[in-house]
Homo-oligomer: A and B are copies of this chain.
């Protein structure tokens, strides 16, 4: 019981640097949630975090750099499922996607990133990089299934993840249709069927 920071899920271990980082991230998420991407100022983030503006600039350069770092941290914290079967793992990955989009803190900045990318193509790199890192991370479950010979070698793991994720983003941001409770299982089954039929390979 000596290290009581371990008892609080929201408190980060580490020294002053880690505390500054956590405070700035928390302030940035709150500002993004309240004001959206366009309305968020790096000055307001620093004030809210109780951190000198010069510290924020030195560390992240600008708001884009800060958001990229924040997004990377959240992505790295996303669990990689290991249920023992690819269908189980894909279902879990889909549930994680749904959970992120229902999360009161994560949803606003995802919306903000998407709106910014559509409005201003020059600033879309943050969203593209975020998604690229997430695809790579989730692709681990497909690579593992190839290793244990559950699915054919030559399956494109990134492409399988895109196929799994796309129907959720499509419903949330495009069609606006509700996400049925069993959609994660059903989408995982479809991706697996396509993989087994040998249709999920790298492009020519």
Contacting pair A165 B173 (CB below 8 A): no
Q: Is A30 an interface residue (CB 8 A)?
A: no
Q: Which of A41-49, A88-96, A141-149, A177-185 contacts B (4 or more CB under 8 A)?
A: A177-185
Looking at the assembled complex, report how far the CB atom of A115 sits from the nearest CB atom of chain B, in whole angstroms.
5
CA distance A117 to B176 in the complex (A): 9
Looking at the assembled complex, report how far the CB atom of A90 sits from the nearest CB atom of chain B, in whole angstroms.
12
For the side of the interface on A, what is the size category?
35 or more
A71-100 contacts to B, CB under 8 A, are: none
Looking at the assembled complex, report how far the CB atom of A75 sits from the nearest CB atom of chain B, in whole angstroms.
14
Looking at the assembled complex, report how far the CB atom of A109 sits from the nearest CB atom of chain B, in whole angstroms.
12
Contacts of A36 in B (CB 8 A): 119
A128-180 contacts to B, CB under 8 A, are: 128, 131-132, 135, 162-163, 165-167, 169-171, 173-177, 180
How many copies of this chain does one complex carry? 2
Looking at the assembled complex, report how far the CB atom of A89 sits from the nearest CB atom of chain B, in whole angstroms.
17
Instruction: Select A169's contact among B115, B128, B169, beta carbons within 8 Å.
Output: B169
Q: Is A69 an interface residue (CB 8 A)?
A: no
Contacts of A180 in B (CB 8 A): 203
Q: Is A63 an interface residue (CB 8 A)?
A: no
CA distance A169 to B175 in the complex (A): 10
A-B contact pairs, 17 of them (CB 8 A): A114-B118, A114-B173, A115-B119, A118-B118, A125-B176, A127-B175, A131-B174, A162-B170, A163-B167, A166-B170, A169-B174, A170-B170, A182-B204, A189-B199, A190-B194, A190-B197, A197-B197
